[in-house]
Structure 1
Amino acid sequence: MAAPSMAAALAANLPSAPVAPVQAAPKYEALPSSMAKLIDIEADIPLNIVQLDGLVVTKIIKHAREAPSTTAHGLLLGLDLDGVLEISNSFPLPHHGGDDGEKGSKSIARHQASMLRSLKEVQADDSVVGFYQATTLGAFFNQSLLETQAIHQEKLRHGGIVIIHDLSQTARGNASFRAFRLTAAFLDAYKRSSFSTSSLISHRLTFSSILEEVPLRIRTNPLLSSFLGSLTRSTKASSGDVPPANAAPASTLAPSFSVLDLNTTGTTRNLEQIVDSLESYRTEEGNLSYLSRQIARERAKADAYIAKRKDENQTRVAQGLAPLPEEDVSRMFKIPAEPSRLDSLVLLGQIDGYAKNLEVTASTGLVKMHGAKGGSGSDKA
């Protein structure tokens, strides 16, 4: 039998490693819902600013450019800490233009649950803090956006935020990102489902007081800043005939001449959208006027019937007869409910957005046209 090796002998003589006792896994009891709100200190700190990560900016721009329409939207993920809502990730939601509402909603819900479950498995941020919406020409007012934001502000802490990305501004080289949330007055009217004239007056609601803007800043990490710097840094473009020392400097990014565009096409489209919105608003106001006249006619009939019955009862009492019983006027006369003016507010918000965008683009276009006219030498002729 072969003699054991020196290493084996030494290993046999060494004392065995002490075995650590197995500790039982700690057990945590779930906090009751009544205590969870008291322990959540961050919920008492008001939200002051939204911080958008540079990666989220690139994701939103990419999704908006590749989307088949201007209705690109998705969810925002992050964390609110010490009054700052840090948005660190996002993912797009599918657009089902041809599907019916119920089928499309179920598909979006399944996609959302699948994405959040996958993010949780890889230990990424999976806390929904709001959503983003792509728009064009500055007009983002619509009922779908208001309803979605109302749901988020009811379920999410600090109400959630909607990020508006303007495609028309980004196409001109100005990345446009704005953060909004619904005002308390609009939320109160929305919960009551009351947007009548009296409700708007009591809540002091106009199209400009539906949303309130939250300050927004964009944060870029060092890696992204280094990448952007490498793209814009000039390099020596060498060729076979030209020595590297004499080569002309070149940039990784191709030159862009978008600033020389007079942008007359965008101005024309903006004017067309304003005219269409004004026509829609005029139609909506005509419908509201018709319904108001119909309500006034029915109320006049009901008041006339009540006055007639009152006179008859006075005559019968004077004659010593028993008065006629009072009847339910609401069953005899179908008085329509006062119409909602939410559509009018939304249309006014769209017109205001188009007008503000036209103000910016038209002023910039005038300066460019004046410069082009001066550079062409037409003033000297």
Structure 2
Amino acid sequence: MATSMAAALAASLPAPQAAPTPAAPTHDVIPASMSKVIDIEAEIPVTSVQLDGLVVSKIIKHSSDSASHTAHGLLLGLDLDGTLEISGSFPLPHNSGDEDDRSSKTTGRYQASVLRSLKEVRADDSVVGFYQSTTMGAFFSHTLVDTQAIHQDKLRHGGIVIVHDVSQTTRGNASFRAFRLSREFLNAYRKNSFSARSLISNKLTFSSLLEEVPLKIRTNPLLSAFIETLTEPHRSTLPQAHPSETFSAAVPPLYSTSLDLGNAALTKNLEHVIETMDSYKTEEGNLAYHARQIAREKARAESYVAKRKEENASRVAQGLAPLPEEDISRLFKIPPEPSRLESLLLLGQVDAYAKTLEGTSSTTLVKMYAAKASSEI
């Protein structure tokens, strides 16, 4: 029945037509002077990242409007002569709770539809990486590592991840950094081996999981000139202007963030440090528990093997045949060594929080001394 049905379907299909002879290409040969700039075979490694000013604005807006602490999105652009030029981006929907198959499929369909729309309007539709927002510099997470590992295998030159620190932006400093996974981490990740021996052999620490790529921001010269004109103070045209309004600017400088002496950021930073240290202590306790279990099972297996050897030696001395050797792995379930990736990521978060705390506290201390000195004048 199935054979007749397949034959009927095959008979109903139109007869295959002969493939037309492909026409000779009419494009010109790439000049020798441009052969190294137009990197078709992806032989020139990416040494720097150039971020367009419009992309910076999009990432800042998405991160500030996002309900969660981590906002994700894709980066679009191309690599040219060793520089990854990022000219576009679009946000990805946030999935609350654990990501299941349905939410992943929804995100995939949304991503495909946006890329299809960009292609229809002849915009950049080549994915070169993704961006992620963070607070206080603590961007080490399983999501970032897993996503970048997927991109590293599928994207041209491995792709990069742009990390935007929202807490720095609220203080008037736009923080953008570009990273990619190190070769040593990729070797351990592909083998799914993060044991102590693997970390030692690959020389992996939390500071060597990612390697930073130099990043520069490119703005339109006309836009830069326009903003400079708005921020430049000019003399008032009013005949009887107040002395404070004699010189004014369309975009006056803001001193609220620069001279803020509040300690809310320090308190929040200390809370994050304590929470991360507690998580790290819990993870170390779990690793110690698994290590004791492994040592206990290994001791039982070694004791069984030693006892079997003594028994076989006594049987041979009595002229009896020794007992057959048994598979120790079937008798004793020795658990595998647990992964230490979570510990590395938590150490990276602690280091980031500590560096942010150092910078924030030193700046606040200078402001307090300046405020005290000004009040005594």
Change (3 A) 1:243 1:319: closer
Counterpart amino acid of residue 251 in structure 1: A
* 1:287-337 deviation per Cα after TM superposition (whole angstroms, max 9, x unaligned): 000100010000000000011111111111111111111111111111111
CA offset digits 1:92-150 (Å, max 9, x no partner): 11101146422221111111101100000000000000000000011000011000001
Q: Is the 8 A contact 2:39 2:81 kept in 1?
A: no
Q: Could you say which residue in structure 2 is the equivalent of 1:200?
A: 199
- Deviating above 6 A after TM superposition, structure 1's stretches of 4 or more consecutive aligned residues are 236-239
Change (3 A) 1:311 1:215: same
Letter in 1 for 2:224: S
For normalisation by structure 1, the TM-score amounts to 0.85
Name which of 249, 254, 272 aligns with 1:251.
249
Q: TM-score, with normalisation over the residues of structure 2?
A: 0.86
Q: Which amino acid aligns with 2:350?
A: I
**Equivalent residue, structure 1, for 2:34:** none
Q: Which has the larger radius of gyration?
A: 1
CA distance in 1, matches of 2:279, 2:69: 20
CA gap of 1:148–1:67, structure 2 versus 1, over 3 A, is same
Q: Could you tell me which residue of structure 2 aligns to residue 322 of structure 1?
A: 321
Cα distance change on mapping 1:263 and 1:52 into 2, 3 Å: farther
Which AA in structure 1 matches 2:250? T
| Amino acid across the alignment from 1:80 | D
- The alignment partner of 1:303 has SS state of helix
Q: Tell me the SS of whatever aligns to 1:138.
A: coil
Aligned partner of 1:191: which letter?
R
Q: Counterparts in 2 of 1:1-40, with a 5 A limit?
A: 26=23
Give the 3 Å change call, closer, same or farther, for CA 160–320 of structure 1 in structure 2. same
Q: 1:40 offset after TM fit, Å?
A: 5.8
- Residue 116 of structure 2 aligns with an amino acid whose one-letter code is R
Q: How does 1:271-350 map to 2 (within 5 A)?
A: 271-350=270-349
Q: Secondary structure at the match of 2:258?
A: helix
**One-letter identity of the residue aligned with 1:369:** M
In structure 2, the partner of 1:270 is 269
Cα distance change on mapping 1:314 and 1:51 into 2, 3 Å: same
**Contact 1:42–1:81 under 8 Å retained in 2:** no
> 8 Å contact 1:76–1:129 — kept in the other structure?
yes
Return the alpha-carbon distance in structure 2 between the equivalents of residues 132 and 183 of structure 1: 18
Q: Tell whether 2:51 aligns with 1:52.
A: yes
Contact 1:54-1:224 within 8 A present in 2 as well: no
> Structure 1's 107 and 230: CA in aligned 2 closer, same or farther, altered over 3 A?
farther
The answer on whether the counterparts of 2:132 and 2:164 sit within 8 Å (CA) in structure 1 is yes
Alignment RMSD: 2.3
Residue-pair matches, total = 344
**Which residue type is aligned with residue 223 of structure 1?**
L
Q: CA deviation at 1:243?
A: 8.0
